[in-house]
């Protein structure tokens, strides 16, 4: 429906924006915008002041309802390029033609908190991608965790009511450290596997750029011959998957609540474009029942060691939005936005999502025409007989708005499958109508155990910290006990450790899943580690040596390491400008620190800087003259990952390890 008139209207609006005269919404140039119309300089405002009324009315209606879940999000534009044609699996054109770049828009989000919540809360993260393909918009609306809390969509309102701030006091904001969530967890054991993930480091991504994405559900790919395979989608960040430590996340929440969004925005502004490879796991229809889990169950993942991830393309985010409301807030994702060659499986969670997403936009975006908003419009032509409605911005012309018609040559017409028309996969269904859980969905603990078995010792310790913090905050002992009893099915020792930390009796039942199955791909310890875009705080005073600093800075920039000079006061060192102070940034924002000056006054914030970097297992460097400054803290100058910087190379080699878990504190 993008017709000539529509274009003219857009041109007109663009010109209008460029015209700097301030007008009313009717185009009237105003001579005054500072003062309302009053009866005398000290008198009452007059009702006839149409300009005041229009301005205020518009302002009064500036807000739209936030998303029920995933309210706090941040987005960016980019493109997707395909490495190799996937014709054998799918006829989707954007997965067939390697010469084309497909524009994308991505929105990352937290789930529980409201729009104004913190970035670094413990939570799953949304990872929603809209591909603007020549065959229509395809949305891959996923998370950074490969499994979900529940198996059937009908339980989603219950889950979300339990997760969200409690209705009687609206506490807590941003996380799940409260009774109703843990009551839900204990009463709905299918949620165990995903909860293990959210309590682990996966619930605290260091950066959206360093976060995996998963389509979660099993989908279908369908090729030109109509043959279908089952598929799971993965996004693998080229910088690897990295986490915050819980203590760090909590400090950052206070010192920079916009930590993740700022990181994404600034990386793109700088030209450090975030990249992810798209991977697919494929299971042939004939193998549907050859696994020890049901492939339709969204609480189960497909271990990569059993079903390898085939990397098929790359997504690069290279443009920030012009306006967050118009783009990031108004974007409307929907797992039902498909292109020919991709289809659904019967995963009962996915099936329910297919209803919910359009429905929720009706109240969020105010009516059925939200697809006309610039961020939601397909880049290919689109036309049908849907008409009118709230916020209709197209001027549909002509006499007909029905199918079939002869008056308008049956325009718009359907397209045969051979010419790119969509048809649903011809799956044979022969069943009774039932409200029931499939027997094959009833194993709630084996994969939770596999996840636990796959973690490194530091990751296991962090998981215990996560559980202990959240359960420890519950008010009811029976809620804590029930939750620990549920964990006991996964691992007896884990349950006993948590029980001790939160002061409830350890479970006595012997119900633990007996399995030592592991999937190494699940441990973030085995992720990519590289220097690119890591960041270092260089602690200086105005007496620091410019040449020495310049040498260090060159080594950092040559290796794509970001740095900030940090001092007590914003100052200059020769030609170098110190942009940050101990008031504005903290060591939790960086991957490492270097102390270059002996004279660095060991005031409490400076000492805390160094000691926090130490307890967060970060690389600490010190110049020979600054050794004393280190010795005046609790940091051991010869500790693991603590280096005397004689040559910047030594420091960078340690920095590339990212966290020195072997450090003795
Ligand atoms: Fe969503 N989900 N969801 N979800 N979801 C929404 O849609 C829903 C689920 C996910 O950045 C809502 O536009 C149901 C799984 C993301 O705009 C809503 C069920 C996964 C986003 C909704 C699920 C997701 C949403 C709220 C259970 C990972 C943010 C506002 C059947 C695969 C997208 C909106 C963005 C948003 C419903 C489960 C991911 C209410 C009913 C599983 C990333 O429609």
pLDDT digits (tens, 9 = 90+) for 182-205: 999 999 999 999 999 999 999 999
Q: How far apart are CA 52 and CA 440, in angstroms?
A: 64
pLDDT at 1 over 50: no
Find the angle CA(82)-CA(85)-CA(87) to the nearest 5 degrees: 135
Could you tell me which residue, 573 or 13, shows the higher pLDDT? 573
353 lines ligand 1 (CB under 6 A): yes
Q: Which atom of ligand 1 is nearest to the CA of 349?
A: 31
Could you tell me which residue, 597 or 126, shows the higher pLDDT? 126
128 lines ligand 1 (CB under 6 A): yes
Average of per-residue pLDDT across 5-22 = 69
Q: Catalytic residue at 161?
A: no
Residue 75, C-beta contacts closer than 8 angstroms, at least 6 positions apart: 105, 106, 107, 108, 321, 324, 327, 328, 331
153 lines ligand 1 (CB under 6 A): yes
Q: How far apart are CA 474 and CA 480, in angstroms?
A: 7
- The per-residue pLDDT for 400 is 98
Residue minimizing CA distance to atom 3 of ligand 1: 353
CA-CA distances (angstroms) from residue 207 to 89, 168, 271, 353?
33, 34, 16, 27
Q: Which atom of ligand 1 is nearest to the CA of 73?
A: 11
- The per-residue pLDDT for 600 is 75
357 lines ligand 1 (CB under 6 A): yes
**132: CA distance to ligand 1 center in Å?**
20
Q: Which atom of ligand 1 is nearest to the CA of 143?
A: 28
Looking at the DSSP bridge assignments, the partners of residue 320 are: 76
3-state secondary structure of 165: coil
Residue 107, C-beta contacts closer than 8 angstroms, at least 6 positions apart: 73, 74, 75, 126, 128, 328, 331, 333
Q: How far apart are CA 100 and CA 52, in angstroms?
A: 50
Q: Which atom of ligand 1 is nearest to the CA of 126?
A: 43
Radius of gyration (C-alpha) of the chain in whole angstroms: 28
Which one-letter DSSP state was computed for residue 624? Answer: G
Q: Which of 106, 109, 141, 148 gets mutated to test ligand 1 (max ligand atoms within 8 A of its CB)?
A: 141
Q: Catalytic residue at 290?
A: no
354 CB-contact burial (10 Å; exposed 0-12 / middle 13-18 / buried 19+) = middle
Residue 269's H or E segment, with its range, is helix 259-270
Residue with tokens 């807000």: 63
pLDDT digits (tens, 9 = 90+) for 383-434: 999 999 999 999 999 999 999 999 999 999 999 999 999 999 999 999 999 9
**69: CA distance to ligand 1 center in Å?**
7
For the chain, what is the mean pLDDT?
A: 96
3-state secondary structure of 367: coil
Looking at the DSSP bridge assignments, the partners of residue 73 are: 109
Average of per-residue pLDDT across 554-581 = 96
- The per-residue pLDDT for 341 is 98
**90: CA distance to ligand 1 center in Å?**
25
175 contacts 122 by C-beta, under 8 angstroms: yes
Report, in this order, helix, strand and coil percent for the chain, each rounded to 5: 35, 15, 50
Residue 462's H or E segment, with its range, is helix 457-472
234 contacts 213 by C-beta, under 8 angstroms: yes
Which of 70, 77, 334, 371 is an active site residue?
70
328 lines ligand 1 (CB under 6 A): no
73 lines ligand 1 (CB under 6 A): yes
Residue 263's nearest CA partner among 320, 191, 194, 308 is 320
Average of per-residue pLDDT across 34-38 = 98
3-state secondary structure of 130: strand
**331: CA distance to ligand 1 center in Å?**
13
175 lines ligand 1 (CB under 6 A): no
Residue with tokens 């979300």: 160
pLDDT at 12 over 70: no
Q: How far apart are CA 283 and CA 304, in angstroms?
A: 12
- The per-residue pLDDT for 15 is 61
540 contacts 596 by C-beta, under 8 angstroms: yes
Q: How far apart are CA 78 and CA 306, in angstroms?
A: 32
484 lines ligand 1 (CB under 6 A): no
pLDDT at 45 over 90: yes
pLDDT at 509 over 80: yes
Q: How far apart are CA 547 and CA 136, in angstroms?
A: 56
Residue minimizing CA distance to atom 20 of ligand 1: 142
Conformational region of residue 658, where left means phi above 0, alpha means psi within -120 to 50, and beta covers everything else: left
- Band (pLDDT 50/70/90 cuts) for residue 598 is confident
- Band (pLDDT 50/70/90 cuts) for residue 348 is very high
- Band (pLDDT 50/70/90 cuts) for residue 2 is very low
Residue 290, C-beta contacts closer than 8 angstroms, at least 6 positions apart: none
Residues of the chain with pLDDT > 90: what percent? Answer: 94
Which of 96, 137, 143, 614 is an active site residue?
143
564 contacts 580 by C-beta, under 8 angstroms: yes
């Amino acid at each position: 429906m993008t017709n000539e008139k529509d274009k003219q209207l857009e041109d007109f609006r663009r010109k209008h924006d460029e015209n700097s005269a301030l007008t009313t919404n009717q185009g009237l140039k105003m001579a005054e915008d500072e003062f309302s119309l009053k009866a005398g300089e000290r008198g009452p405002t007059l009702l006839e002041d149409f300009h005041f009324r229009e301005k205020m009315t518009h302002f009064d209606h500036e807000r739209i309802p936030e998303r029920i879940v995933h309210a706090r999000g941040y987005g960016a534009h980019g493109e997707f390029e395909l490495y190799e044609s996937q014709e054998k699996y799918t006829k989707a054109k954007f997965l067939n033609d390697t010469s084309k770049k497909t524009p994308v828009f991505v929105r990352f989000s937290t789930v529980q908190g409201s729009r104004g919540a913190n970035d670094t809360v413990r939570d799953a993260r949304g990872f929603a991608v809209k591909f603007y393909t020549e065959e229509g918009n395809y949305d891959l609306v996923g998370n950074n965790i490969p499994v979900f809390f529940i198996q059937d969509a009908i339980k989603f309102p219950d889950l979300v009511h339990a997760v969200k701030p409690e209705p009687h006091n609206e506490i807590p904001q941003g996380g799940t450290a409260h009774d109703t969530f843990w009551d839900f967890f204990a009463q709905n054991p299918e949620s165990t596997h995903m909860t293990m993930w959210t309590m682990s480091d996966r619930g605290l991504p260091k950066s959206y750029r360093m976060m995996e994405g998963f389509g979660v559900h099993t989908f279908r790919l369908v090729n030109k011959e109509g043959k279908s395979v089952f598929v799971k989608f993965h996004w693998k960040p080229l910088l690897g998957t990295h986490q915050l430590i819980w203590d760090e996340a909590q400090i950052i929440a206070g010192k920079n609540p916009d930590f993740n969004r700022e990181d994404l925005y600034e990386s793109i502004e700088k030209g450090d474009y975030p990249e992810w490879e798209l991977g697919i796991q494929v299971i042939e229809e004939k193998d549907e029942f050859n696994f020890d889990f049901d492939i339709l169950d969204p609480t189960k993942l497909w271990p990569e060691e059993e079903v390898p991830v085939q990397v098929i393309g790359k997504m690069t985010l290279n443009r920030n939005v012009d306006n967050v409301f118009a783009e990031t807030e108004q974007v409307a994702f929907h797992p039902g936005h498909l292109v020919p060659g991709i289809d659904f499986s019967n995963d009962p969670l996915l099936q329910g999502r297919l209803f919910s997403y359009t429905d929720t936009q009706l109240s969020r975006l105010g009516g059925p025409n939200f697809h006309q908003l610039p961020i939601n419009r397909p880049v290919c032509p689109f036309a049908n007989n849907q008409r009118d409605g709230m916020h209709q911005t197209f001027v549909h012309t002509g006499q007909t708005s029905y199918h079939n018609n002869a008056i308008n040559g049956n325009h718009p017409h359907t397209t045969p499958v051979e010419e790119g028309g969509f048809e649903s996969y011809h799956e044979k269904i022969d069943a009774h109508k039932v409200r029931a859980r499939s027997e094959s969905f009833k194993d709630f603990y084996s994969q939770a155990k596999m996840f636990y078995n796959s973690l490194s010792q530091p990751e296991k310790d962090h998981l215990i910290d996560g559980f202990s913090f959240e359960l420890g905050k519950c008010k009811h002992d029976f809620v804590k006990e029930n939750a620990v009893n549920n964990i006991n099915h996964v691992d007896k020792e884990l349950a006993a450790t948590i029980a001790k930390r939160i002061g409830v009796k350890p479970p006595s039942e012997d119900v633990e899943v007996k399995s030592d199955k592991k999937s190494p791909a699940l441990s973030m310890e085995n992720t990519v580690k590289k220097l690119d875009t890591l960041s270092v705080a260089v602690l200086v005073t105005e007496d620091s040596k410019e040449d020495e600093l310049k040498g260090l800075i060159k080594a950092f920039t040559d290796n794509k390491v970001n740095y900030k000079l940090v001092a007590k006061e914003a100052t200059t060192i020769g030609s170098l400008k110190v942009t940050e102070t101990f008031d504005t940034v903290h060591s939790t924002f960086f991957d490492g620190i270097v102390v270059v000056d002996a004279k660095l006054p060991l005031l409490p914030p400076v000492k805390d800087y160094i000691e926090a970097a130490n307890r967060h297992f970060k690389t600490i460097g010190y110049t020979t003259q600054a050794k004393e400054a280190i010795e005046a803290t609790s940091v051991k100058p010869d500790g693991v990952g603590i280096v005397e910087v004689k040559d910047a190379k030594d420091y960078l080699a340690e920095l590339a390890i990212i966290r020195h878990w072997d450090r003795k504190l």
